[in-house]
Amino acid sequence: MATELKVIQSDITKLQVDVIVNAANTSLLGGGGVDGAIHRAAGPELLAECRGLGGCNTGDAKITKGYRLPAKFVIHTVGPVWYGGRQREAGALASCYRRSLELATAQGAKSLAFPCISTGVYRFPKELAASIAVQTVRDFINRSSSLTEIIFCCFSVEDAQIYERLLSAPED
């Protein structure tokens, strides 16, 4: 069955999906931005589970339960900090999307929402990040996927417009 790709402008913590993805840091012990919002909405049990995970490398991902969130699971992935583009940032960002999709598929998830990983305090350029996100997700679902719905959850209108444009363009 085909996977539907959607863009919405929303707070990701409000979404009723099987999995939301968190743009975490390597400690997995919480932070600002979307990470802070997810921990606040999920409650202290999330941090307790995260403490047992031993952190996470950049470009990798780990899964926990969603606790008080409407989402059943949270996949915590660690995006690269943008240092100008010569530190393999693009490859690391693509890996975040791929590893998250692999874990969601292994969990049997049908619906998943991504935030705009690395584009906040990690300073990854928004347009480039969005094109890597869309390309990596398209490549993954073209190979096989049990997911029926993948949402790009944008916090700003500007981000949502970038994704709308990319998704309405034909695939490469």
Interacting residues toward ligand ADP by CB under 6 A = 11-13, 23, 33-35, 37, 79, 115-122, 153, 155-156, 159
Measured between alpha carbons, how far is 54 from 145 in angstroms, rounded to an integer?
Answer: 29
* Minimum CB–partner distance for residue 57 and ligand ADP (Å): 14
Burial (CB < 10 A; 0-12, 13-18, 19+), residue 14, is middle
* Minimum CB–partner distance for residue 2 and ligand ADP (Å): 25
Q: Is 18 a catalytic residue?
A: no
* Minimum CB–partner distance for residue 109 and ligand ADP (Å): 18
Nearer to ligand ADP, 140 or 155 (CB): 155
β-bridge partners, 65: 73
Q: Which of 35, 60, 159, 172 is catalytic?
A: 35
Nearer to ligand ADP, 72 or 123 (CB): 123
Name which of 146, 113, 154 is nearest 17 in CA terms: 113
Nearer to ligand ADP, 116 or 134 (CB): 116
* Minimum CB–partner distance for residue 142 and ligand ADP (Å): 26
Are residues 62 and 53 in contact, defined by beta-carbon separation less than 8 angstroms? Answer: yes
Nearer to ligand ADP, 34 or 103 (CB): 34
Q: Annotated catalytic sites, by residue?
A: 35
